[in-house]
Chain A
Amino acid sequence: MSSLALDSSPPRTRRRFTGWFSYLALSPSLVVLAIFFALPMGIMIGMSFADPQTLSPTLDNYHRFLTDGLSLAGFCRTAIMSLLVAVCVTALGYPVAYFLARSRTRWRAVVFALALSPELAGVVLRTYGWLIILEDRGFINDVLLYLGLIASPLPLSKNLFAVVVGLTHVVLPFGILSLMTSIQGIDPNLERAAQMLGASRLSVIRFIVLPLSVPGIVSSMLIAFTMAASAYATPALLGGAGFKVLATMIYEQVLFYINWPFASVMAISLLVMMLAISFAGVRYESRRRLRTAGAKGDN
């Protein structure tokens, strides 16, 4: 047997992709992240400790945030609104996601397009659409007044209700996609097995699909929460002066009061809120994961 001159470069090449080379490969992204994320974040945190006029270090901004009543009210309002949006998006999106995950009829493409195409119109356009529908002189009130069902317009806009409706509409496609992916990951044979054991469609969903899609539900709620908490255009247009959330309050501080330090404190509080919720979600999911490993049905 001839001695084959083995080419030894493949192993060497493999080795080259570990160690310093991998860091080199990552460096463009690291540089971009450093410049456009870490640096501005650092500046913002620094600014939150500065006096608005003199820029000298102070804790006054944080003190004001915690004591002036309005800021904490805005914080709670933002949290409650985001939570409601998360629940609505997940509850409304689940049936659609289930249909999209399991259906094999031609309706699937239609429903898919209907669920996602609103994104094409953009947030502002859709939010104005809701304004036209929900205003005191908008579509719904017009119809109800015309039919004589109400005497004066229902307050459907410039409040929590309007903002939750508008944001749910905007965030829904993302929730549906997230849930759909999660449900697709569940072995369809599990549902068939349940059916053969006598479970109706509803029982299949209740006992098999829902428990196994909890990770998807958690991530859908996280996505919806963070999107709602950081939204600006929809709360600005549909919430108005009477319903201010952190995003609109920050905008005011920056563009009207030119008080960047106080705006930074608000922004940091929003960040803390979202980090806390994300952390809670991830913790919950990792605990559940220990109990439902092997969701695909084979070991």
Chain B
Amino acid sequence: MGTKRCFALILSAAFVTQANVAGAETLVLNSYGGPYEAIIQERIIKPFEERHGIDVVYDAVGSAQQDYAKIKATNGRPGFDVAVMTASQSLQGCKDGLLEKLAVAEIPNLASLSPGLSSAAGPCGAVHEVQYLSLLYRTDKLTSAPVSWADLLDPQLTGKIILPTFQNIMAVYLLEMMSLSNGGDLIDNIDPGFDAMAKVSAQSVGFEQSSAILESYVRDGSVWAMPFWNGRAQLLVDEGVPVDYIRPREGTIPLIATLNIPVGAANKDAAVKFIDFFLEKSSQEGWVTGYRVGSARTDIDVPAELQRRQVQSVAGDKSLHLPDLMLLQAKLPEWAERWERDVVPHAN
């Protein structure tokens, strides 16, 4: 046999054995980087790999919307099996027929989730965590803790806040809360929200896209208050950074995060196993205590002081306002333009 043929044979043998070593499958998970990655690896992925013997490949690139754009562009075959996105993408993906419908038969733990939160995400999304938009502030810089969204307009905060870009859903939620606080509502009567955001923008040093960069402004003290997800806010508190966060008196909007499976995923078996694993009681307990977020399960054991600051359910909680996510998605392009015109120019 010639050298070339020999070489080819050896290579293909290696590939085959690689695929079948101890029967290991691969699951590609698209999620976030930063502290999210560290905690999810420790609390969810490693136990999952051990229990099921499935190799998890971690892809930290892309926000929820960007991931969905990729799913849409590839017609449901984006190259990953499970994506961490939000209820908005879950609903959109179901409508577009690009995400798998998740059944209790394959994912038994779906039954243990709070129905209100589950229905908010629709049949294509499994709610694995719940956060809300909090108001984060430096305890050492502000004389007294803020209580309202309107506190962002306080003169002592001029040039001391930073805002997310419109591509970050935090900006949209802030806009809606400003609207609600000023006599408007979450979707249709949004004008008061834009008027208020124009003024908030005048207080801001600018706009940033990623949570990590926004966080850095608060860490080094150049920013004294900003909107931020409560989970990450709590992580900052735990680290010892002199910050705290509040749920303002006007209330806030919850972020319902979901696990989704694209219709063209390569390994759907492993995908449903992963989701079921993530939704187990022990996993959710591990996740909640690790990432400081709320769970959609109603039966988990969580330390009291954590529980106080988390979201348990949306239905009973008067301080949580959930907009119609499908309507909201439809409004985004129009609001984005308005944001460019009316909000961005005012920033410093």
Contacts and interface: CB of A to CB of B under 8 A. Distances in A.
B347 A256 contact: no
B65 A256 contact: yes
16 contacts: A70-B341, A136-B205, A137-B220, A152-B159, A155-B348, A158-B206, A240-B165, A240-B208, A241-B206, A241-B208, A241-B347, A242-B347, A252-B167, A255-B65, A256-B167, A258-B72
A168 B159 CA distance: 30
A199 to B, nearest CB: 51
B335 to A, nearest CB: 11
Given A70-B337, A241-B347, 17 more contacts: A68-B337, A69-B341, A70-B340, A70-B341, A137-B220, A155-B348, A240-B165, A240-B206, A240-B207, A242-B347, A244-B340, A252-B167, A255-B65, A256-B65, A256-B66, A256-B167, A257-B333
A254 B167 CA distance: 12
B340 to A, nearest CB: 5
Interface in B141-195: 159, 165-167
B135 interface: no
A259 interface: yes
Contacts of B65: 255-256
B211 interface: no
Contacts of A136: 205-206, 222
Nearest to A249: B340
Contacts of A70: 337, 340-341
B336 A257 contact: yes
Contact of A258 (B69, B336, B337): B69
A242 B332 contact: no
A255 B66 CA distance: 5
Interface in A250-280: 252, 254-259
A282 B332 CA distance: 43
A70 B339 CA distance: 11
B339 to A, nearest CB: 9
Interface of A: 68-70, 136-137, 152, 155, 158, 240-242, 244, 252, 254-259
A241 B340 CA distance: 9
A68 B336 CA distance: 12
A256 B166 CA distance: 10
Interface string B69-83: 100110000000000
Counting chain B residues whose Cβ lies within 8 A of the other chain, the interface size class is 20 to 34
B344 interface: yes
Interface string B33-75: 0000000000000000000000000000000011011001100
Interface of B: 65-66, 68-69, 72-73, 159, 165-167, 205-209, 217, 220, 222, 332-333, 336-337, 340-341, 344-345, 347-348
Contacts of A252: 167
A242 B341 contact: no
A87 to B, nearest CB: 26
Contacts of A240: 165, 206-208
A70 B73 CA distance: 26
Contacts of A255: 65-66, 69
A254 B69 contact: yes
Contacts of A137: 217, 220, 222
B210 to A, nearest CB: 11
Contacts of B347: 241-242
Contacts of A158: 206
A206 to B, nearest CB: 44
B20 to A, nearest CB: 36
Contact of A242 (B68, B207, B217, B220): B207
A242 B348 CA distance: 9
B333 A259 contact: yes
A242 B165 CA distance: 10
Nearest to B223: A137
A258 to B, nearest CB: 5
A255 B165 CA distance: 14
Contacts of B72: 258
B337 A257 contact: no
A257 B165 contact: no
Nearest to B70: A255
B285 to A, nearest CB: 35
A147 B253 CA distance: 45
A155 B348 CA distance: 8
A136 B348 CA distance: 11
B337 A241 contact: no
Nearest to A243: B344
B130 to A, nearest CB: 24
B159 A242 contact: no
Contacts of A155: 348
Nearest to B65: A256
Contact of B207 (A152, A241, A259): A241
Contacts of B336: 257
A136 B337 CA distance: 27
Chain A CB count within 10 A is highest, among B159, B206, B332, B341, for B206
A254 B72 CA distance: 11
B344 A242 contact: yes
Nearest to A64: B337
B222 A257 contact: no
Nearest to B205: A136
B252 to A, nearest CB: 23
Contacts of A258: 68-69, 72-73
Nearest to B332: A257
